[in-house]
Structure 1
Amino acid sequence: MTIKLNPYLNFEGNTKEAVYFYEKALGGKLLGIMRFGDMPEDPNHPMSEDMKDLIMHAQLKVGDADLMFSDTFPGMPHQAGGDTVQIAIHPSEEARAREIFAALEDGGQVIMPLQKTDWSPLYGIVKDKFGVTFQVNVPQEQSQ
């Protein structure tokens, strides 16, 4: 049996901005965006025009991994940020790790600057402007 896991990030009204930010910062490829307004209207649950423009589902391919995104539907609880889950990125080249880290750092906060560690020639932690924490880690055996 094969199991594939991927992060699914929820935002409160700014998913579209986040998707395009991660597409650029991580060098991803946008596979699709579906808005709540793309779904057939339900007369029992009418949506405002603002709600129709919110992102119901978006998918970004980053290397072999998928990142998925959604806005929370208005009225649903949402807690921004938090460190319960972090996303680890493992670029094989130090130059690419520096590019990714710098892009995520823009408007965010460095938790641990990029540096050599016992397990990596280059490792750092950054919380981006959306409150998502990333660990950037160049694998020791693949460093260049």
Structure 2
Amino acid sequence: MLSTTPYLHFMGNTEEAMTFYKSVLGGEFTIFHRFRDVPGSEKIPAEDQEKIIHASLTVNANFTLMATDYLSSMDQHLVLGNNFHICLHTESEAETERIFESLSRGGKVEMPLNTTFWGAYFGMFSDRFGVHWMLSFNAS
């Protein structure tokens, strides 16, 4: 596998979450569509028109993060869980620390950054949006 593209679902705060991720990870939004932009959107309630149907944040050639808003008006319901982590493989300890500190702010650290028995500089946390992350730097 050459890359992994995580796809995240939020209940109305996709724009806030994706803007936050861009501020930490960098990159560019290659797609940022609102429900109002799609054919048939006139059937969607007014309060849902500005929500995000699809956002794609391309950080680099190896990492793209995608997301959407679930709509309760379409009987979509989000259940936050711990059934996934997004693992970012970093290029240095400094990059690992910068991303870890920024993304974990307001969240919950599950495992602080440290050198593990398998040799990686590694840490785990959930961010303020309930998304679970792993950061790993392998010096070798």
User: So what's the TM-score if we normalise by structure 1?
Assistant: 0.87
The amino acid of 2:22's aligned partner reads E
- 3-state SS of 1:24 partner: helix
Q: Secondary structure at the match of 1:19?
A: helix
How does 1:1-144 map onto structure 2 within 5 Å? 5-41=4-40, 46-63=43-60, 64-74=62-72, 75-80=75-80, 82-141=81-140
Other structure's SS at 1:124 match = strand
Q: How many residues align?
A: 137
SS in 2 for 1:134: strand
Higher strand share: 2
Residue type of the partner of 2:39? P
Once the two structures are TM-superposed, the CA of residue 12 in structure 1 deviates from its matched residue by 0.5
Q: Is the 8 A contact 2:3 2:63 kept in 1?
A: no
Deviations 1:41-80 (A, max 9, x none): 356xx22221100100000112311111000122212112
The alignment yields a C-alpha RMSD, in angstroms, of 1.8
Cα offset, 1:121, TM superposition = 4.4
After TM superposition, give the deviation of residue 84 of structure 1 in Å.
0.9
Structure 2 distance, partners of 1:14, 1:28, is 20
Letter in 2 for 1:68: M
Tell me how far apart the structure 2 counterparts of residues 101 and 27 of structure 1 sit (CA, whole Å).
14
Distance 1:53 1:134, change over 3 A: same
The alignment partner of 1:16 has SS state of helix
Q: Unaligned stretches of 5+ in structure 1?
A: none
Structure 2 CA distance, aligned partners of 1:120 and 1:137?
A: 10
Contact 2:41 2:49 in 1 (8 A): no
Q: Which shifted more, 100-109 or 2-11?
A: 2-11
Instruction: State the AA in 2 paired with 1:102.
Output: E
Q: Verify the 8 A CA contact 1:119 1:140 in the aligned structure 2.
A: no
CA contact (8 A) 2:32 2:56 kept: yes
Alpha-carbon offset, residue 92 of structure 1: 1.1
Q: What amino acid is the match of 2:134?
A: Q
Unaligned runs of 5+ in 2: none
Identity of aligned residues (%): 34
Shift of 1:120: 3.2
